Amino acid sequence: MNEVLTDWRALVGRHLLHLRRMPDKLISATVLPMVFVVLFGVLFGSAISIPNGDYHEFIMAGIFTQVMITAVPNTAIGMLEDLGNGLVDRFRSLPMSPSAVLVGRTVGDTALRAITCLAMTAVGYAIGWRLQGGILGALAGFGVLLLFGFTMAWLGALLGMRVRSPEAASSLPSVLLMPLMFLSSAYVPLGGLPAWLRAIAEWNPISAVAGACRALWGNPAAAGDSFAARNPIPLALLWLALILLLVVPSAVRRYRTAVAA
Amino acid sequence: MDYAIQAEGLRKRYGDTEAVAGVDLAVPTGTITGVLGPNGAGKTTTVRMLATLLRPDGGRAEICGFDVVRQAREVRHRIGLTGQYAAVDQKLTGRENLQLIGVLQRLGRRNAKQRAAELLERFDLTEAADRLSGTYSGGMRRRLDLAASLIADPAVLFLDEPTTGLDPVSRLDLWAMIRAEVDRGLTVLLTTQYLEEADQLADRIAVVDKGVVIAGGTPEELKRQVGEERLDVTLAHVTDGLAVANALSRVSSSEPTVSPDGRTVSLTLAGGVLGISTAVSALHDAGVEIVDLAVRRPTLDDVFIALTGNRQVEPTLEKSPA
């Protein structure tokens, strides 16, 4: 166990060094998300009204979850690069833990996403968004969000080992996740949907994560009185645990036999 | 004899193609064996199985007496691998790359640091040690890659086409460094497409084709089969072809051959490069006008022609190292 921790620490260290080395990566991970906050918060916020509160209060949690999803291709491409330039071969020829390379990458990418969250929060505050759930609620909300980001990073790492080209690594996550994203309460409350569609959207893990953040941050909820809509926090945690339980072992298994395209 | 690498009947199949179709290898401890073959011969697949990256479909292999499948972890403690790409993290410095691999090889932080400094010195990278390896030249990156393979003092080193894409000077540097490591007692399995590289480095050569070893022996034995340097004579007049072949038959150790267009006569030089002057005066006596003379070292292609009678290698534009 001690050796596994040494491996994890070494690989996480590698990715934290990367963050420091690549200011361009930091910029691309913060600028666009900040633009989204302004775009959705100010522009759409002034045009859209929702039943129980301000749209720009409501949409922040949605933008945060969206940004966690749009970062999936980055993880996938990074993994694909490590495979392509022989680094994974080298790591696999070492007597090290097979999970370490993946842990390093996913933790490193989650750290980057934490920086993204800070930048977005700053811009959010500038346009009038407020965290109204107290300091603990605020931290817990970001905790759920980053757990979601971590889960998505594992998914990205798995995809990166399954696809053969950077094009596929950058487009496949969107193809898989964007429909889920739109069929959720991330952008809009679900009150207007037909009942069957609404049930699907309410149980959607992305709705659960956005809903958990809203609940913890004291922001307006997506309304609805179903079990899923009333219990977003446990539902989100359950979903994330379930997805991690599926994705982590299959990613590690994939890594053991991974080959470059 | 004590063998550091032993493989028997190693097999790997991809779909319908048998990439490795029963390879036997035995590399004595402290020597270099060169695995020579064209692209697609199964060289890399063989190395990947020996280095525990790929599970064989059949046969068995042992590194220092440890089975590559059942005792993969023991094997990994004893091997270094330098693949076809310089497997270094370009966003880390040279030193950070070596320290990372050192820590993952269980050297401990302080030891890894010390070993990294030693190897940077040995591979002439001390000056560049704290620059990002992404800024290194191809040759420097290869040296860093080799240093990374050696950080935990492995007993066995796998070199998979280590000089592909290197300029001639970097190639010679790398050869010298590999030789120095073998002098320290390292056992090396080297794959290459270049006869000259195998000749320069290897104590023994195994020629592979279509997933099997088709010939083996010392470089001298192999070259005896292939022939020594060849002389290509380019003629001013196509009609001279036969006359030239006749004139040259006494300086050649085999029957001279005329190219299809009749402009080039090719022969094996009896007595090595000294045979050139004999050949030139023979041509002069026969009154043949020549445009060009070129000495050609045997290539992988010649090896295959000699061994199988077939041209196995796709003609490539790539130059052999010289």
Same domain, B202 and B168: yes
Query: Does B178 lie in the same domain as B66?
Result: yes
B118 reaches A (C-beta below 8 A): no
Does pLDDT of A175 surpass 60? yes
Nearest-angstrom CA–CA distance, B20 and B208: 10
- Shared domain for B174 and B244, answered yes or no, is no
Test mutation, B79, B92, B104, B157, chain A, max A CBs within 10 A? B104
- Are A95 and B91 a contacting pair at CB < 8 A? no
In this prediction, residues A147-174 reach a mean pLDDT of: 93
The residue from B207, B224, B241 where one domain ends is B224
Q: Does A100 touch chain B (CB under 8 A)?
A: yes
Distance CA A205, CA B133 (A): 41
Question: Does residue B302 form part of some domain?
Answer: no
Q: Report the 10 Å Cβ neighbour count for A208.
A: 28
Q: State the pLDDT at residue B208.
A: 92
**Domain shared by B179 and B241, yes or no:** no
The 10s digit of each residue's pLDDT in A70-106 is 989 999 999 999 998 889 999 999 999 999 999 999 9
What are the C-alpha distances in Å from B108 to residues A6, A90, B84, B92?
A: 9, 19, 28, 19
Assess whether B194 and B254 both reside in one domain: no
**pLDDT value for B309:** 65
Q: What pLDDT does B28 receive?
A: 95
Do B239 and B212 sit in the same domain of this protein?
no
Q: Within a domain: residue B320? A: no
Q: Are residues B219 and B236 in the same domain?
A: no
**B 35-94 → A contacts, CB under 8 A:** 48, 51-55, 73, 76-77, 79-81, 83-92
Residue A64 has pLDDT above 60, yes or no: yes
Write out residues 177-236 of A within 8 Å (CB-CB) of B: none
Same domain? B110 vs B124? yes
CB contact under 8 A, A86 and B79: no
Q: What is the pLDDT of residues A231-240, one digit of tens each?
A: 999 999 999 9
The answer to whether residue A85 neighbours chain B at the CB level (below 8 Å) is yes
Other C-beta atoms within 10 Å of A85: how many? Answer: 18
Contacts with A84 from chain B: Cβ below 8 Å: 85
* Exposed/middle/buried for residue B40 (C-beta within 10 Å: 0-12, 13-18, 19+): middle
pLDDT value of residue B223: 75
B310: in domain: no
**Containing structural domain, residue B118:** 3-224
Instruction: State residue B207's pLDDT score.
Output: 92
Within 8 A of A104 by CB-CB distance, chain B residues are none
Q: Which of A186, A222, A221, A225 is nearest to A206 (CA)?
A: A186
CB contact under 8 A, A93 and B103: no
Contacts of B121 (CB under 8 A, 6+ apart): none
Domain count, chain B: 2
CATH assignment of the domain containing B121: 3.40.50.300
Flag if A10 and B106 touch (Cβ within 8 Å): no
Res B303: pLDDT: 74
CB contact under 8 A, A85 and B87: yes
Secondary structure of residue A51 in the 3-state scheme: coil
Band of pLDDT at residue A52, cut at 50, 70 and 90:
confident
* Nearest in space to B99 (alpha carbons), one of B82, B127, B118: B118
Closest residue of B to A92, CA-based? B53
Looking at CA atoms only, how far is residue A21 from chain B in angstroms? 7
- The pLDDT, as a whole number, for residue A136 is 96
Average pLDDT of A137-147?
A: 97
What is the predicted pLDDT for the residue at B321? 42
Note whether residue B303 is domain-resident.
no
B215 with B236, same domain: the answer is no
Please write down the HEC assignment for all residues of chain B. CCEEEEEEEEEEEECCEEEEEEEEEEEECCCEEEEECCCCCCHHHHHHHHCCCCCCCEEEEEECCEECCCCHHHHHCCEEEECCCCCCCCCCEHHHHHHHHHHHCCCCHHHHHHHHHHHHHHCCCCCCCCCEHHHCCHHHHHHHHHHHHHCCCCCEEEEECCCCCCCHHHHHHHHHHHHHHHHCCCEEEEEECCHHHHHHHCCEEEEEECCEEEEEECHHHHHHHHCCCEEEEEECCHHHHHHHHHHHCCCECCCCEECCCCCEEEEEECCHHHHHHHHHHHHHHCCCCEEEEEEECCCHHHHHHHHHCCCCCCCCCCCCCC
Q: Does B111 reach chain A within 8 Å, measured CB to CB? A: no
Residue B308 lies in a domain: no
- Which residue type is seen at B203? D
Tell me the residue length of chain A.
261
How does pLDDT run along chain B (322 residues), one tens digit per residue? 799 999 999 999 988 889 999 999 999 999 999 999 888 889 999 999 999 999 999 999 999 999 999 999 999 999 999 988 889 999 999 999 999 999 999 999 999 999 999 999 999 999 999 999 999 998 999 999 999 999 999 999 999 998 888 888 888 988 999 999 999 899 999 999 888 888 889 999 999 998 999 988 888 887 777 766 778 888 887 766 677 777 777 777 777 777 777 788 887 776 666 778 888 888 888 778 888 888 877 776 777 777 766 654 444 444 444 3
Residue of A nearest to B54 (CA): A257
Measured between beta carbons, the chain A residues lying within 8 angstroms of B96 are 17
The residue of chain A nearest to residue B79, with distances taken between CA atoms, is A93
The residue out of B224, B245, B266 marking a domain boundary is B224
> What is the gyration radius of the CA atoms in chain B, in angstroms?
23
B266 occurs within a structural domain: yes
The residue among B180, B207, B224 that closes a domain is B224
pLDDT of residue A260: 59
Q: Which among A77, A52, A49 is positioned nearest to A220, based on CA atoms? A: A52
B103 contacts in chain A (CB < 8 Å): 6, 10
In a domain, B15, yes or no: yes
Whole-number pLDDT of residue B117: 97
Instruction: Tell me the CA distances in angstroms from B282 to A11, A245, B227, B242, B251, one per residue in order.
Output: 69, 81, 21, 14, 8
Q: Are residues B130 and B249 located together in one domain of the fold?
A: no
Do B10 and B84 lie in one domain? The reply is yes
- The domain segmentation of chain A, as residue ranges, is 2-256
Q: Is the same domain home to B151 and B204? A: yes
Q: Which of A152-166, A189-203, A208-222 has the lowest mean pLDDT?
A: A189-203
Q: Which amino acid is at B272?
A: G
Which CATH number fits the domain that encloses residue B265?
Answer: 3.30.70.100
ipTM of the complex as predicted? 0.89
